[in-house]
Amino acid sequence: MQRKFAVTGAFFMLASVALGAFGAHVLEPLIGEKAVGTYETGVHYHMIHGLAMILTAFAAGLGGEPKRLLWANRLFLAGIILFSGSLYLLAVTGWKVFGPITPLGGVSFIAGWLMFALAFLKK
């Protein structure tokens, strides 16, 4: 479980750096300053929660409750896809239909951190 969390988190960190560079060097002149701000918010939360996924690997080694850490990791992943993914799509396409998806990702992040905390409160 620990290695899977670490590898998955590292992959999402790699993707966040690549998407951030793409946004800064390719997208900025194409989509405008406001949309770049939206895109950068997606990258920011993507990166934080990629690190959170790696953190769950270390937390499992510290004796956190495995099922709750698994759910924390899944919720961080869902949050990246829903929150950051919707912001990327909103920024690039300008389609407001992606806006209502963003809060679902935020709720996933919050639930992930709750599961992370509960993984240690039970012990």
pLDDT (tens digit, 9 = 90+) per residue, 30-82? 888 889 999 999 999 999 999 999 999 999 888 889 999 999 999 999 999 99
The predicted model gives 78-93 an average pLDDT of 96
Tokens matching residue 57: 């690997």
- Alpha-carbon distance of 111 to 103, in angstroms, equals 12
pTM beyond 0.85: the answer is yes
